[in-house]
Amino acid sequence: MISLRDVSKRFGSLRVIESVSLDVERGEVLCLIGSSGSGKSTLLQCINGLEAIDGGTIEVDGISVHDKRTDLNRLRQKLGIVFQQYNMFPHLTALENVALALKVVKRMGRAEAEAAALRQLAYVGLESKKDTFPGRLSGGQQQRVAIARALAMEPHYMLLDEVTSALDPELVAEVLQSLRKLRTDGMTMLIVTHEMRFAREIADRVAFFDRGRLAEVGPPSQIFDAPRDERTAKFVGMTAR
Amino acid sequence: MNFSPYHDLGNGDVLFLLQGAGRTILLTLFAGLIASILGLALGWLRFVSRLARILTGPFVDVLRSVPLLVLLILVGTFVGILGIDLDPFSLAIGVLALYAAAFASEIARAGFGSVDARTRKAARALGMGAGQEVRHILLPLAARVVFPAWLGLLLALVKDTALVSTVGYMELMKSSQVVVTQTNAPFVVFAVSGLLYFLICYPCSVYGQRVEARMKHDLAP
Amino acid sequence: MTFDYEFHWRTVLEDLPDLLAGALVTLEVTGLSIAAGVPLAIALGALLRGPAATRVPARCFVEAARNTPCLFQIYLFYYGLGALGINLSSFLVAVIAISLNNAGYLADTYRSALQAVPVQQRSAARSLGMTFGQTSFHVVLPLMARIVYLPTVNQMIWAMLNSSLGTLIGLRELTGVTQFVQSRSFRTLEFFLATAGLYYLLAKALMAAASLYGRRLTREAR
Ligand SMILES: Nc1ncnc2c1ncn2[C@@H]1O[C@H](COP(=O)(O)OP(=O)(O)O)[C@@H](O)[C@H]1O
Ligand SMILES: [Mg+2]
């Protein structure tokens, strides 16, 4: 379980996250929606300790992320994260992108790491691109490699940050398909997305984020059809159109 | 006037010039290696620490604004005052390495700075430690970007070694002077030594330009 | 290993006028070699854009200048012209050699600057009724200046550093003067420290002077 209690985060004087409490249960798919600049990306990066927090606690399976004694590198293996901009390693082929952390973090042998990496590439349907460099892959393909790269670490949770936002419309579907597959396989996911139809389809719960605060959390039917919070209603109404 | 007295430039003289060229290459490689290591360390410090940037700034700035010849004399005098008996080769390598390190550190810093912070973040997110991230992501990516500039530095170093003739080391420039004095045929001698310099530099320079052009092409998103 | 050297700065101070006179020669060589090098670079740039008959020899010159040491080039002119019976002063030899060196390093910059001024802008200016001369002066040159500004300033600093090589053919520029006056007292360290300082100041002064002009360029760009 990922559990956030009263989490706050500032960038200088800018309050990006204010007193956010939220639980993500094992096996659950939670979609985080909200306008851009509301702090969604920052929140995800706080969860795996890429960003420090200024107040509250974040625990993953009972381990406090921002405790100095926590071995973050170890904890991060539990938390796969995929970024909006793919963030491929441009000097490595698709296969090497996926295999690198297996070799250096999980200390797998070369053959074992590459076999595992190939399985993950196959999972996202990119086996045939294993020797291709990121520069020669489409955005959608790069994003699927990024998903495979995160999955290869066998995380318990996947944090996905607007993984389709940088893609051309015709490439969105292939990435979403990969996420559907993950859901079917029971992966716990925290998905930041602007694809409302997709959120409604895949989410167990939807959380609406407004200017650093959690305005409303509930099942998709509540958030999209009968929002209780005025701000949610406005946001959902706007994006539905 | 003596335009083409080929017989004046015997096989022995050509061999002598070739040996000089060999020493020029040797000087370049030694000094280049030391400069690269020093420059990498210094560039790293300047990249990660503001304090180091402020403290080492004058060192880099001054080394780049003072002629190598003056540096050579200064260091030679200083070493003499300290009572250290350095042979010309070591002195030359020391000064050349120091001088080139100032440039190398700027190249290294630019290289580190060119790596997208998000790519580095992605590595940390996979559980790589800071050292692993540097070794597997930052260094290889920076190395690619700075390779042409680094090659350019080595080329400049080849040309800088000519100054070492002033401390009496028999590299290509000094060898040429010696042969000129012996044969009194400056055109022929300089044609040969100029060609030797050209043969050392030009292939590297062409290769560097190729790599640079290819990178511009590859890095276009 | 102890450093118990006693610095004597007084003698340096006494000879400071000599050093400054040397610095003036350094500036003269720098200024003249840039003043001659830039037009040469423009000419080379134009030749490099021309047909093979002009491009190939220009390319040969540029690569020869860039792939041999500046000191080699100075010696080549010094000993070479001497062998031809032409005896020029070391000042002139230094200026000629460093001008050609500057031209070689700047040629490709000026070539791309010439390429960068689009024909349309030229014809736009001409269509406003400007003459060829006016167009060149008010449109083409300012546009080119922006491209060549930084490389030219850098080359000017290199020219200044290279001018120290004149010492080796007997030129009494800053390094040469220092070498000469220090031999009277053998306070080599003090003298060359002072000279290093002067070079540093010269470099800064040149860059400051250049940036006065550079600021005008960027103001025009805004
Ligand atoms: N590293 C940073 N330094 C300073 N401000 C930042 C940084 N990262 C994000 N911000 C600011 O924090 C706010 C929230 O950003 P972000 O979490 O990216 O929002 P979202 O992902 O919801 O669009 C924005 O105003 C953004 O400008
Ligand atoms: Mg975001």
Does residue A26 register a pLDDT over 50?
yes
C chain contacts of residue B62, beta-carbon cutoff 8 Å: 196, 200
Angstrom distance (rounded) from CA C145 to CA C122 = 15
What are the strands of the beta sheet with A55-60, ordered from one edge? Answer: A14-24, A2-11, A55-60, A63-64
Does residue B4 register a pLDDT over 60?
no
pLDDT for the residue numbered C85: 86
Please provide the average confidence, as pLDDT, over all residues in chain B: 90
The mean pLDDT value for C100-115 works out to 94
Distance from CA of C199 to the nearest CA of B (A): 6
pLDDT for the residue numbered C218: 64
pLDDT for the residue numbered A42: 94
Query: Which chain B residue shows the shortest CA-CA distance from A149?
Result: B126
The mean pLDDT value for C23-38 works out to 97
Confidence of residue B189 (pLDDT cuts 50, 70, 90): very high
Contact B126 A85 (CB under 8 A): no
The mean pLDDT value for A111-139 works out to 94
- Ligand approaching nearest to the C-alpha of A13: 1
User: Which 142-181 residues of chain A touch chain B by CB within 8 A?
Assistant: 146, 149-150, 153
Per this entry, what is the length of chain B? 221
pLDDT for the residue numbered A33: 94
Provide the residue ranges of all domains of chain A, joining segments of one domain with +.
1-78+157-165+174-241, 88-154
pLDDT for the residue numbered A166: 81
Suggest the residue from A63, A76, A81, A104 to mutate for an interface test with chain B (most B CBs closer than 10 A).
Answer: A104
Chain C residues interacting with chain B (CB cutoff of 8 angstroms) = 1, 3, 5, 63-64, 66-72, 75-76, 79-80, 82-85, 157, 161-162, 164-165, 167-168, 175, 178-179, 188-189, 192-193, 195-196, 199-200, 203-204
Contact A105 B128 (CB under 8 A): yes
B chain contacts of residue C205, beta-carbon cutoff 8 Å: none
β-partners of residue A32 are A192, A207
Does residue B219 register a pLDDT over 60?
no
Greater confidence (C126 vs C160) lies with C160
A168-227: pLDDT as tens digits: 888 888 888 889 999 999 999 999 999 898 899 999 999 999 999 999 999 999 999 999
Does residue A99 register a pLDDT over 50?
yes
The residue whose CA is least distant from atom 27 of ligand 1 is A37
Question: Which residue segments constitute the domains of chain C, with CATH numbers given?
Answer: 10-221 (1.10.3720.10)
| Domain A1-78+157-165+174-241 falls under CATH 3.40.190.10 | no
Contact B67 C188 (CB under 8 A): no
B10-44: pLDDT as tens digits: 888 889 999 999 999 999 999 999 999 999 999 99
pLDDT for the residue numbered B5: 46
Side-chain-side CA neighbours of B114 within 13 Å: the count stands at: 18
A154-177: pLDDT as tens digits: 999 999 999 888 888 888 888 888
For ligand 2, the distance from its centroid to the CA atom of residue B206, given in whole angstroms, is 44
Does residue C138 register a pLDDT over 80?
no
Provide the residue ranges of all domains of chain B, joining segments of one domain with +.
11-219
Chains C and A touch (3+ CB pairs under 8 A): no
Residue C84: CB partners within 8 Å, gap ≥ 6? B1
State both tokens at C26. Answer: 């350094």
pLDDT for the residue numbered B1: 42
Give the DSSP per-residue string, B77-118: HHHHHTT----HHHHHHHHHHHHHHHHHHHHHHHHHHHS-HH
Residue A212 CA, closest ligand 1 atom number: 14
Does residue B6 register a pLDDT over 50?
no
Does residue C59 register a pLDDT over 80?
yes
Angstrom distance (rounded) from CA C214 to CA C208 = 9
The mean pLDDT value for A137-150 works out to 93
A chain contacts of residue B132, beta-carbon cutoff 8 Å: 104-105
For ligand 2, the distance from its centroid to the CA atom of residue A208, given in whole angstroms, is 14
pLDDT for the residue numbered B7: 46
State both tokens at A73. Answer: 């590198």
The mean pLDDT value for A80-91 works out to 92
Does residue B174 register a pLDDT over 60?
yes
pLDDT for the residue numbered B8: 65
The mean pLDDT value for C115-140 works out to 75
B48-104: pLDDT as tens digits: 999 998 998 888 889 989 999 999 999 999 998 888 888 888 999 999 999 999 999
pLDDT for the residue numbered B166: 84
Angstrom distance (rounded) from CA C23 to CA A144 = 64
Regarding the domain with residue range B11-219, which homologous superfamily does it belong to in the CATH classification?
Answer: MetI-like (1.10.3720.10)
Contact C200 B65 (CB under 8 A): yes
